[in-house]
Amino acid sequence: MTPDEQREVTEAISAGRRAIASLEEAADALDSASRWGLFDLVMGGFIASLVKRSRLDDAEGALERARADLRAFTREVRDVRAIEELRVGVGPVASTLDVLLDNPFVDLYVQKRIDDAQDSVEAAIGATKTVLARLEALR
């Protein structure tokens, strides 16, 4: 392997590690949002809805960072896909209804969106780790 190729592999590995760290941060934020979502489903209440909304905002920020890190990783290895699928995707209307109406139907909808986002993040972590393992084997 040439020094330039070695440098490219090292850069890709660094980008992959940053992407995994961002994805794990997003997974933690989604886990917190999910727990608050379940609490909101069972206990309900305005405060629970507000806390859940705050955790969803945290998760969306973490997902934005993860998307940026995955884009950088993708540029390095051109092998990771489905980056744009990393979103909570609740939307402003559902979010507002969740807080204002606070009923089980809206809560279930929001919980489903959280669960879908968790699945996407876990898939992205798995794909990134697979590519990262291949890169590390090249060293």
Name residues whose C-beta falls within 8 Å of residue 130's C-beta, 6 or more positions apart in sequence.
none
pTM given for the model = 0.76
Mean pLDDT of 91-95: 60
How many CB atoms within 10 Å of residue 33?
A: 28
Q: What mean pLDDT value characterizes the chain?
A: 83
Which fold, 3-138? Four Helix Bundle (Hemerythrin (Met), subunit A) (1.20.120)
Q: How confident is the model at residue 83 (pLDDT cuts 50, 70, 90)?
A: very low
Nearest Cα neighbor of 64 from 26, 118, 20, 120 is 26
> DSSP string spanning 25-89?
HHHHHHHHHHHHHHHHHHT--HHHHHHHHHHHHHHHHHHHHHHHHHHHHHHHHS----GGG----
Nearest Cα neighbor of 53 from 33, 39, 35 is 33
Nearest Cα neighbor of 90 from 99, 82, 81 is 99
Q: Domain ranges in the chain?
A: 3-138
Tokens matching residue 46: 């305005």
Tokens matching residue 18: 């940053």
* Residues 34-61 pLDDT 10s: 999 999 889 888 899 999 999 999 999 9
Taking the C-alpha atoms of residue 139 and residue 72, their distance in angstroms, rounded to an integer, is 20
Taking the C-alpha atoms of residue 128 and residue 134, their distance in angstroms, rounded to an integer, is 10
